[in-house]
Structure 1
Amino acid sequence: MKLFASNTSPFVRKVRVVLREKGAEGLVTEEIVVAREDPPALHAANPLGKIPALILNDGMALFDSPVICEYLDTTLPGPSLLPASGPKRWKVLRLEAAADGILDAGVATIYEGMRPTDERSPAAMLRWRNAIIRSLDFLESELGATFASPDIGLIAVGCALGYLDFRFPDIAWRDTRPALAAHFEALSARRSFKETMPRA
Structure 2
Amino acid sequence: MMKLLGSPASPFVRKARVMMIEAGIEDVPFAEVTASPLGGEESLNAANPLGKIPALTRDDGPTIYDSRVVTRFLDARYQAGLYPPTRVWETLTLEATADGMMDAAVNITYEKRHRPEDIWFAPWLDGQWAKIARSLDALERQWMSHLSGPLDMGQIAVACALAYLDLRHDDKGWRNGHPALADWFARFNARPSMVDTAP
TM-score under structure 1 length normalisation? 0.92
Residue 9 of structure 2 aligns to a residue whose secondary structure is coil
Partners in 1 of 2:128 and 2:105 — Cα distance? 7
Q: What do residues 57-112 of structure 1 show as CA deviations (whole Å, max 9, x unaligned)? A: 424200110000000111114x410023x5x1111111111111111000000111
Q: Post-superposition shift, 1:173?
A: 1.7
Q: Which residue of 2 is the match for residue 64 of structure 1?
A: 66
Partners in 1 of 2:73 and 2:140 — Cα distance? 28
RMSD (CA atoms): 1.5
Partners in 2 of 1:71 and 1:105 — Cα distance? 25
Q: Which residue of 2 is the match for residue 119 of structure 1?
A: 119
Residue 31 of structure 2 aligns to a residue whose secondary structure is strand
Residue 128 of structure 1 aligns to a residue whose secondary structure is helix
Q: Which residue of 2 is the match for residue 157 of structure 1?
A: 158
Q: Post-superposition shift, 1:144?
A: 2.4
Q: Post-superposition shift, 1:172?
A: 1.4
Alignment of structure 1 residues 13-162 onto 2, 5 Å: 13-24=14-25, 26-36=26-36, 37-77=39-79, 79-84=80-85, 88-114=87-113, 115-144=115-144, 147-162=148-163
* Residue identity opposite 1:92 in structure 2: T
Partners in 2 of 1:38 and 1:169 — Cα distance? 26
Q: What do residues 138-189 of structure 1 show as CA deviations (whole Å, max 9, x unaligned)? A: 1111222572222100100000000001111122122211221122122112
Q: Post-superposition shift, 1:34?
A: 1.1
Q: For the Cα contact (< 8 Å) 1:3–1:54, is it kept in 2? A: yes
* Residue identity opposite 2:152 in structure 1: D
Q: For the Cα contact (< 8 Å) 1:14–1:156, is it kept in 2? A: yes
Structure 1 runs not aligned, ≥5 long = none
* Residue identity opposite 1:4 in structure 2: L
* Residue identity opposite 1:109 in structure 2: I
Structure 2 runs not aligned, ≥5 long = none
* Residue identity opposite 1:105 in structure 2: A
